[in-house]
Amino acid sequence: MDSEQLRENAHKMVDFIADYYKNIETFPVLSQVEPGYLEKLLPDSAPNHPESLQNVLDDVQTKILPGVTHWQSPDYYAYFPSNSSTAGFLGEMLSAGLNIVGFSWVTSPAATELEVIVLDWLAKMLKLPEHLLSSGQGGGVIQGTASEAILVALLAARDKVLRKVGKNSLPKLVAYASDQAHASMLKACQIAGIHPENIRLVTTDSSTNYALSPDVLGEAISKDIAAGLIPFFLSSTVGTTSSTAVDPLYALAKIAKGNEMWFHIDAAYAGSACICPEYRHYFDGVEEADSFNMNAHKWFLTNFDCSPLWVKDRSALIQSLSTKPEYLRNKASEANMVVDFKDWQIPLGRRFRSLKLWMVLRLYGLENLQCYIRNHIKLARHFEELVASDSRFEIVVPCKFSLVCFRLLPAHNDQDCGNKLNQDLLDAVNSTGKIYISHTVLSGKYILRLVVGAPLTEERHINAAWKVFQDEATVLLGGV
Ligand code: PLP
C-alpha cells in the first residue's frame, strides 16, 4: 500500500460516495434491472494490465449503480432498515485501513478491549442486567449478524444440556419459539442438529397481536415432557420481523426457568428503540435472559455488519466454540488473562467492528440517538394516521415501533381477492421506483409493510410515499 496513492485515490472515492448520497433521491429505489444484466456489460475475464480508478468509477456509475437497490435512500421502507451514517462509515473506513484480524487478544489487544468496553457501554444504554456485562460471568461480543448470534447461543445451550443429560440425548432436545420468530432460529436448529420434529414454532394469532402466548407454550412444553423429550431452548422476540410483535418476556422467562431451559431474546430490530425510556418496558423480563441480541446495523446508525450478543455465562459459549491449536498459542491466552473472541463465534477471523459502534456512540451521543429513534417512530405514526384516514385501506396491527402493517381492502370480503389486490399494489408501487416496500402474510392475509428507518427519511418523504399508495390504489380499484 503506497500511502500517497491511497491518499489521492481515497479522496476521490470519498468524493464519489459523498456525491452518491447527495444524489441518492434521483435513483429508482428498487433496482429495475433484469437478472443477468451485468454479464452483458462487463468483459468475461479480468484485465491483464492495471486500469485507472477513474475508469472503474465510471463503470460503477453507469453499470453498477443501476443494479443497486438503494437501502440508504430516504424512500426505502422495505424489510428492516440497514443504517449507514457518517460515524458508522468513518469507523468502517478506519477498520478497513487498519485491516487487523483480531481473533485473539494478542493479535490486536485494542480490538478485543474496545469491543468489551463498547458493548458494556451499549448494555448500559439498553439498561441490560449487570450479569450480561463483562464485569460478571457474562459479557458481550459482536457477531456479524443476528443469525450467527442466535446460532451460537443455541449451540451453547445445546452443549450445556448435553453435558448434563449425555450426548446421546441430542435427538430428544426440543427448541421453542413462536411461528413469528425469524427464520434464522429454524436455520440455527438445523445447523445444531436439532431433530426437525423437535423444533416447535408455536402458533400465534391476532388475539395476542402475534405475540407468543405463555399458556400455549406451557402446554406444548408439558406435552413434550410427557412424551420423554427434553425442552432446552426458548427464543423469544422483541419486535418480530413480520409485524414487530413483542413476546411477553417475564411470563416466558418464568416458564423457561421453571423447566431449566436457556432463555434467549432476539431484539434484532427493536432493540435500538429501547435506549428510549418510554420503550424500555418492552424489555421488562430481560433480567432473566441467558442471552440477548440486537442488530446495531439495523436501526442504530452503524454500518453493516454489527450484531451485538450478550450472554449471562460466557463459559457456556466458550466451552462450545473454543479451539486451541498449537499455532495460535500465546502467553496471554495460556495464562487466562484475556478474552479471545475467536472462542465466542463460528469463524476464526474477525473484523475490528467495535470501531464503528464506538464512533457512533461518541460522535452522536445517547440524546441524539434517542431523538433519531423517536423521530422515526413519529414518522411511522404519521404514516399510520394517513392510512387510517383513507377508508379504502386498513391498519392490520397497531404500530409499536416504526413499522406500519396495512392493506388495501378488496371490494368483496374474499381473502384470495384481497391478497391478489395487495400483491398487485406492492408490485405497482415498487415498480414506480419512487419507493420500496416489502410484504408479509399474517393469518393468511397478504399485508404491506412500510418501515421508517432510513437515516435520511423526513416527513415530506412519508407524505410523498402515501401519495404513491393512493394513486396506485386508485388505478387498481378502477378509479382511473
Ligand atoms: N431476527 C429478527 C427479529 C430479524 O428481523 C432479523 C432480520 O431482519 C434477523 C433476526 C436476522 O438478522 P441478520 O440478517 O442479522 O441475520
Q: Residue 10 has what DSSP assignment?
A: H
Helix (H, G, I), strand (E, B) or coil at 408: strand
List the residue whose alpha carbon is closest to atom 14 of ligand 1.
145
Of the residues 79, 152, 182, 303, which should be mutated to test ligand 1's pocket, given the most ligand atoms within 8 Å of the CB? 182
Q: What are phi and psi of 309, to 5 degrees?
A: -130, 135
Compute the distance from residue 323 Cα to the ligand 1 centre, in Å: 28
Q: How far is the CA of 277 from the centre of ligand 1 (A)?
A: 24
Q: Which ligand 1 atom sits closest to the C-alpha of 267?
A: 3
Report how far ligand 1's centroid is from the alpha carbon of 10 (Å). 32
Residue 412 burial class via C-beta count within 10 angstroms: exposed 0-12, middle 13-18, buried 19 and up: exposed
Contact (CB, 8 A) for 408 and 476? yes
Q: Which of 184, 187, 401 to mutate to test the pocket of ligand 1 (most atoms within 8 A of CB)?
A: 184
Distance 76 CA to ligand 1 centre (A): 18
Report pLDDT for 357: 98
What ligand 1 atom has the least distance to the C-alpha of 239?
Answer: 3
Name residues of the chain where pLDDT drops below 70: 479-480
Cα of 337 vs centre of ligand 1, distance in Å, is 34
Q: Can you read off the three cell numbers belonging to residue 449?
A: 409493510
Beta strands 262-266; 291-293: pairing state: parallel
Q: Residue 217 carries which side chain, given as an amino acid letter?
A: L
Distance 236 CA to ligand 1 centre (A): 13
The ipTM is: 0.98
Q: How far is the CA of 421 from the centre of ligand 1 (A)?
A: 28
**CA nearest to 151, candidates 69, 76, 233:** 233
Given a contact cutoff of 8 angstroms between Cβ atoms, the answer to whether 300 and 360 are in contact is yes
For 134, which DSSP code?
Answer: T
Q: Whose CA is nearest to atom 12 of ligand 1?
A: 146
349-386 residues labelled b (16+ CB within 10 A) or e (exposed): ebbbbbbbbbbbbeebeeeebbebbeebbebbeebbeb
Q: How far is the CA of 361 from the centre of ligand 1 (A)?
A: 22
Ligand 1 atom with the smallest distance to the CA of 237 is: 3
List of residues 6+ apart from 66 with CB closer than 8 A: 31, 32, 33, 37
Q: For the stretch 263-282, what's the b/e string if a residue is b when 16 or more beta carbons lie within 10 angstroms of its beta carbon?
A: bbbbbbbbbbbbbbeebeeb
Q: What is the 3-state secondary structure (H, E, C) of 143-179?
A: ECCHHHHHHHHHHHHHHHHHHHHCHHHHHHEEEEEEC
Measured from CB, residues less than 6 Å from any atom of ligand 1 are 80, 145-147, 182, 184, 237, 240-241, 266, 268-269, 295, 307
Task: Give the pLDDT score at 480.
Answer: 54
Which of 295, 297, 299, 309 best tests ligand 1's pocket when mutated (most atoms within 8 Å of CB)? 295
Query: What is the 146 CA–ligand 1 centroid distance (Å)?
Result: 5
Q: How many CA atoms lie within 13 A of 331 on its CB side?
A: 0
For ligand 1, atom 5: residue with the closest CA = 241
- Among 150, 264, 269, 309, which is best to mutate for testing ligand 1, by the most ligand atoms less than 8 A from CB? 269
At 334, which amino acid appears? E
Q: What separation in Å is there between the alpha carbon of 147 and the centre of ligand 1?
A: 6
Ligand 1 atom at minimal distance to the Cα of residue 147 = 16
C-alpha cell at 287: 433480567
CA of 243 from ligand 1 middle (Å) equals: 13
